Structure 1
Amino acid sequence: MVGVRSAAWRMGLWACAMWAALGAATARAEVVERTMTAGTEQRSFLLSRPSGATTPLPVVIALHGAGESAEGFMGYLGLEETAARNRFVAVYPQGIGRVWNDGRPAAMRLKAMLTPGDDVTFLVTLTQQLVAEGIADPNRIYMMGISNGGFMVERMACEHADLYAAFSVIMATAPANYREQCRPSRPVPIMFIHGTADPVIAWDGFWTPMGATLSAPDSAQLYAALNGCGESQVQDLPDLNRLDGTTVSVRRWEGCTPPGEVALYRVERGGHQSPARVKTTPELATVFLGLRNGDIDAGMESWALFSRHSLAPPTPVAAPAAVPLPARPPQKPRSSRAQAVQ
């Protein structure tokens, strides 16, 4: 059972600021809040679809962090401008209790305060629903998330790589038990964005009696190994915003088994914030979460990865037809007299 009602009234707090930042093109996207039944649960999500869309389009499913709402995350992430420019559908699911059941031990995901639902069933059912309604191109559905949502993205990559063409993990690393338990059904295109000064999800990983997480480099290396990748190369990106106190470099692994691809964006001195070209958070957030990079935009970088990948096998290129050699003209037989002279 699926219900629809406008979500515009719930976004009034940030709509004016986002209008100026995103421009008129983004304003043409139709945003609705929808409800659906997944398993035994009633769930909700925001659907931002390009106005006038009548055919299946690429879809990016974006998962909020712990304690956030779908509408608040939509404003924070700033994905709408990228969606408008590239004409894809953005979907913002809402976690029950504002948290995701990301596969980590309960104590590591604040279950004592925030109780999640059956999120794997929800996200799979949501994906199937978008395809059944003709909204999503089944070969071009992608998933990205921040913090708790980023851990949930990894769980879906490990358990349902057959449904999503590529993944983007922001401000999250890999649970240590994924070294034994994460076995995607195929090589996965995946990228990580992480700050070296993240005060919430440490760049170097952390250990507790309940469980541990890998460092950001080891997390990316885990997927590089799963994808059969070889060596990696590091590239420093331009410091476009010299006032934000951060810089970015990206490490890319080479020689991965197709369609596998792995990248790690290292935000030097970056905090627990998603990089964005457009400012969507108050200055006070820096005090608690650390610095936010403005050299790159998480949505734009994620789409750059997503746009290269599809679940559809590449169309084989037919070999050119062989061109027959021209027939040799028949030779005039020589007379017996001429043969005698020879």
Structure 2
Amino acid sequence: MNLSVNGEARRYLLMTPDGVAGPAPVVIALHGAAQTPESFRAYFGLDEAAAAHGFVAVYPEGEGRVWNDGRPAAMRLKLVLRPGDDVAFLVALVRRLVADGIADPARIYLTGISNGGFMVQRMACEFADLFAAYSVIMATAPANYREECHPARAVPIQFIHGTADSVISYNGFWTPVGATLSAPDSARLYAVLDGCPPATRRELPDLDTSDGTTAVLRRWEGCRDGAAVELISIENGGHQSPARVDTRPDLATPFLGLRSRDIDAGEEVWRFMSAYGAPVVPPPRAAGKPLPPSSPLRSGKTAPKEAAKEAAKDAAKPAASADQRGIKTQ
């Protein structure tokens, strides 16, 4: 499907499992650099979780197959590939999904891998009230976020990262043009922003002893406004999204390190994010502008259905659909 944003034609795939009718929960998933929505969808394995749990999966495409995330320009290929106005695109996409009756505005979530994971964090910092919860895979926090990230509310956010990632280092890295935090420090950054108490730690079951990986969960609970932060560290995992379902990896993936099959990214993303409901999609506002104390967003509770219906009246544009492998594809 296509969406015009500031004069640019932007594209996205819409996957609705059989038997799911809108307004439904929606997970928007952002691809890594150089991927297409189609290749990302085949690699990520989110469709299986969508079918199992009854949510819609949406795969947008970054301009030039790259996202204009919150890192310094030289760290995100801007000098090579021209990214579009991705913030405006994602905001417009959310509004289209609500207006078309596809998305329940109280249950819209954002996840992404690598470059897409950095873009997830930009949206969490600048438009924290747009999505109910966030999940970041194979990406850490830009070091500049220690000064520049000012979310308008406590942000429920999940990190999944391999300790042997050779592309986006688990331990962070420094360059003359910018730096990233380690995966643990990235999670701690949001835990501090969310006012969380210390984390708990537990080892997850080693369900596939042949994959060369294990997983450890650190979780910060009891945060402000009912938020939580968690980090799943894939011990010995490479620059790979964990999956227990059958996927079609990109050709480059054999060179990116071990892929864990102890957990499944789609299932873990849904487990974490589905615990949260946000109020209706808010009207446009300046990024970082605080919400009023009376905003229902600060309660962490799902908005009433009547408010959701009002949000869907903003615009009405037709949605198209076709069937593919039992999943409606747009």
Q: TM tier, shorter chain?
A: 0.7 to 0.9
Match of 1:243 in 2: 210
- The residue that corresponds to 1:76 in the other structure is 43
For residue 116 of structure 2, what is the aligned residue in structure 1? 149
Structure 1 residues 139 and 315 mapped into 2: Cα distance closer, same or farther (>3 Å)? closer
Q: Is the 8 A contact 1:151 1:172 kept in 2?
A: yes
> d(CA) in 1 for partners of 2:3 and 2:188?
37
RMSD between aligned residues: 1.6
Aligned counterpart in structure 2 of residue 222 of structure 1, from 189, 204, 208: 189
Higher relative contact order (CA 8 A, sep 6+): 2
* Structure 1 residue aligned with 2:60: 93
In the other structure, the counterpart of 1:291 is 258
Amino acid at match of 1:156: M
1:253 and 2:220 equivalent? yes
Separation in 2, partners of 1:116, 1:109: 10
Residue 306 of structure 1 and its aligned partner are, at CA, apart by: 1.4
| Partners of 1:77 and 1:97 in 2: CA distance | 20
Q: How does 1:40-189 map to 2 (within 5 A)?
A: 40-51=7-18, 53-189=20-156
Match of 1:204, as an amino acid?
Answer: N
Give the aligned residue type for 2:114.
S
d(CA) in 1 for partners of 2:253, 2:59: 24
Tell me if the contact between 2:18 and 2:51 (Cα under 8 Å) persists in the aligned partners. Answer: no
Deviation at 1:315, TM superposition (A): 7.6
Aligned residues: 283
- Deviation at residue 286 of structure 1 after TM alignment: 5.3
The answer to whether the Cα contact below 8 Å between 2:98 and 2:105 also exists between their aligned partners in 1 is yes
Q: 1:188·1:259 contact (CA, 8 Å) conserved in 2?
A: no
* Alpha-carbon distance in structure 1 between the residues aligned to 2:98 and 2:238: 36
Q: Deviations for 1:289-342, whole angstroms, at most 9, x for unmatched residues?
A: 0000000011100100111100145389xxxxxxxxxxxxxxxxxxxxxxxxxx
Return closer, same or farther for 1:249/1:39 CA change in 2, 3 Å cut-off: same
CA offset at residue 283 of structure 1? Answer: 10
Code of the residue aligned with 2:214 in structure 1: it is T
Give the unaligned 5+ runs of structure 1: 1-33, 317-342
Distance across 2 between alignment mates of 1:265 and 1:230? 18
Contact 1:176 1:211 in 2 (8 A): yes
CA drift at 1:259:
2.6
205, 213, 229: which one aligns with 1:262: 229
Measure how far apart 1:254 and its partner are: 2.9
| Partner SS, residue 120 of structure 2 | helix
What TM-score results when the alignment is normalised by the length of structure 2?
0.83
Structure 1 residues 155 and 73, CA, compared in 2 at 3 Å: closer, same or farther?
same
In the TM superposition, what is the alpha-carbon distance from 1:287 to its structure 2 partner?
4.2
Q: Please, what TM-score do these two structures have when normalized by structure 1?
A: 0.80
Distance 1:315 1:223 in 2: 22
CA contact (8 A) 1:146 1:274 kept: yes
Q: Note if contact 1:231-1:255 (Cα within 8 Å) is conserved in structure 2.
A: no
Q: Quote the Cα distance in structure 1 between the aligned partners of 2:139 and 2:268.
A: 16
The residue correspondences of 1:259-338 to structure 2 (distance < 5 A) are 259-281=226-248, 285=252, 287-312=254-279, 313=299, 314=301
> Structure 1 pair 179/315, CA: closer, same or farther in 2 (3 Å)?
closer
Structure 2 unaligned segments of length 5 or more: list them.
Answer: 280-298, 304-330
